Amino acid sequence: MTHTKPTFEDFLTWLAALRGRGMVHFDEHQRCWHVLGHPEVNAVLSDPARFSSDLSAMIAGQKDFELFGRGNFVRMDPPKHRKLRTLVSQAFTPKVVAGLEPRIAKLTEELLEPLGERFDVIDALAYPLPVIVIAELLGIPVTDRPLFRSWADVLFSQERDPDQAVDEIGDEVFAAVLPTMREMNAYFLDYIASRRTNPGTDLTSALVRAEVDGKRLTDEEIVGFAGLLLLAGHVTTTATLGNSLVTFAENPDATAEVRAEPSLLVPAIEEVLRMRTPFPRLGRRTVVAAEVGGATIPAGQFVIPWLSAANRDERVFADPDRFDIHRSPNPHVSFGHGIHFCLGAPLARLEARIALGRLLRRYRDIEIDPAEPVEHRSPWTMVAVTKLPLVVRVA
């Protein structure tokens, strides 16, 4: 791979070529199985007994990773997964989340208030809004958010050679992220200790009090929980806000329709999620030999269900490369599928609807500033812009 950063279009071209090799196929270079079709991806994600989320066997036993892994239920299988997920799921039901609407609306207004007619919308809104919301839920100091951002930047900015073997990537990536993992672990351990002596009404205090099978969670388990929620809870929503604005700028007719009929914002966000899938792919490991899409994957293999590819499967989405805000149904898999379906989906959708709705109402024109560069993450890791300079005109 050259050192010029591959674009989202390069990524889509690469993905289309990959699909050309079959909806389910073995990759000799990467030594993994790619799953690219919509029904095939759904089949993998709905079968945790054969496709495990526990990839620890493939990660050389790094202490920090293990520590972080203990409460990180996205990497767990039943029955432990269900027990831990149940503990936090109460905090994220659509009803509870709907109660956050006034707070999210107020935060959005506060963040937009000081802005002029030129600003980087990632710095000004797309990053701080979701991180403040999740930090408030967890009870961690919102003022530490530059720290969270520095962590997220390290963890989600790993450049990947798409053709490198999965088991080789490990060591390099781990070496790059280990100091950050250590810093995060130490931060959360301190914070949890302070909550044990001085509990509040936040989610972390609730986790400190919670029991699974009659036993309290250990500090290490809570570190995994908090880390998962803090990171999963903001980078993807930040990505979705930025991705929406990029897509709106590329599709002025659809945006004009949304402006004229604000209820179309909801399906427009779903269509952005489909086309610019924030997490392009997930990871699974076969526990036993498993048949999917006519191929048999042996036991112990690394499997990559490509959400980005499933979301453009023309057997399910007519004219899949077209941004169509009237697409109905829109069964995209950007929030995953099955037992690990994103716990934060109602929150992410609410934040996106409020933030984008306020932006469209406040500004009659929103353009990407042609004088400033737009920056993005590697789309193989995450589909997201990290700098999005805008020029706006107040309505």
Question: Strand ranges (DSSP E) for the chain?
Answer: 24-27, 32-35, 51-52, 118-120, 211-212, 215-216, 284-286, 290-292, 295-297, 302-305, 363-368, 375-376, 385-387, 389-394
Return the closest-CA partner of residue 225 out of 119, 59, 57, 84. Answer: 84
Q: Binding string to ligand HEM for residues 25 to 54, with x set by CB under 6 A, is what?
A: ----------------------------x-
Q: Which stretch binds ligand HEM (CB under 6 A): 107-115, 166-174, 202-210, 227-235?
A: 227-235
For the sheet containing 118-120, what is the strand order?
Answer: 118-120, 389-394, 363-368
CB of 119 closer than 8 Å to CB of 390: yes
Which token pair is 342?
Answer: 């994103």
Candidate ranges 334-342, 360-368, 374-382, 386-394; the one touching ligand HEM (CB under 6 A): 334-342
Give the β-pairing of 32-35 and 302-305. Answer: parallel
In the chain, what are the helix, strand and coil shares in percent, each to the nearest 5?
55, 10, 35
Closest distance to ligand HEM from the beta carbon of 94 (Å) = 13
Beta-bridged to residue 26, according to DSSP, are 33
Nearer to ligand HEM, 208 or 333 (CB): 333
Site string for ligand HEM, 120-149 (x = CB under 6 A): --------------x---------------
For residue 116, the SS3 value is coil
Q: How far is the CB of 106 from ligand HEM (least distance, A)?
A: 18
Nearer to ligand HEM, 128 or 336 (CB): 336
Is residue 59 within the footprint of ligand HEM (CB under 6 A)? no
Select the span of 57-65, 158-166, 343-351, 360-368 touching ligand HEM (CB under 6 A). 343-351
Query: Which lies closer to ligand HEM via its Cβ, residue 274 or residue 392?
Result: 274
- Contact between 55 and ligand HEM by CB under 6 A: the answer reads no
Smallest distance, ligand HEM to C-beta of residue 238, A:
9
| One character per residue 264-293, x = contact with ligand HEM (rule: CB under 6 A) | --------------xx--x-----------
Q: Which of 322, 323, 249, 311 is nearest to 274 (CA)?
A: 311
**Which tokens belong to 317?**
């989405």
Stretch that binds ligand HEM, among 106-114, 320-328, 342-350, 363-371 (CB under 6 A): 342-350
| Binding status of residue 65 toward ligand HEM by CB under 6 A | no
Q: Which of 128, 233, 379, 389 binds ligand HEM (CB under 6 A)?
A: 233
Nearest residue to ligand HEM by CB is 344
DSSP summary character for residue 72: -
Among 85, 182, 196, 358, binds ligand HEM (CB under 6 A): 85
Residue of the chain from 74, 169, 189, 391 that contacts ligand HEM (CB under 6 A): 74
Choose which of 107, 228, 292, 388 interacts with ligand HEM (CB under 6 A).
228
Size of the site for ligand HEM (CB under 6 A): 24
C-alpha of 384 from chain center: 10
- DSSP summary character for residue 6: P
Least Å distance between CB 230 and ligand HEM? Answer: 9
Are 1 and 160 in contact by the 8 Å Cβ rule? The answer is no
Binding status of residue 231 toward ligand HEM by CB under 6 A: no
> In this chain, which of 334, 350, 359, 380 binds ligand HEM, going by CB under 6 A?
334
Contact flag: residue 58 with ligand HEM (CB under 6 A):
no
Q: Could you give the 3-state DSSP secondary structure of residue 386?
A: strand
Amino acid occupying residue 124: A
- Residues with Cβ within 8 Å of 225's Cβ and at least 6 positions away in sequence, in order, are 71, 72, 73, 84, 87, 88, 207, 217
By CB under 6 A, residue 308 contacts ligand HEM? no
389 contacts 126 by C-beta, under 8 angstroms? no
* Residues near ligand HEM, by CB under 6 A: 53, 73-74, 85, 134, 228-229, 232-233, 236-237, 240, 278-279, 282, 334-336, 340, 342-344, 347-348
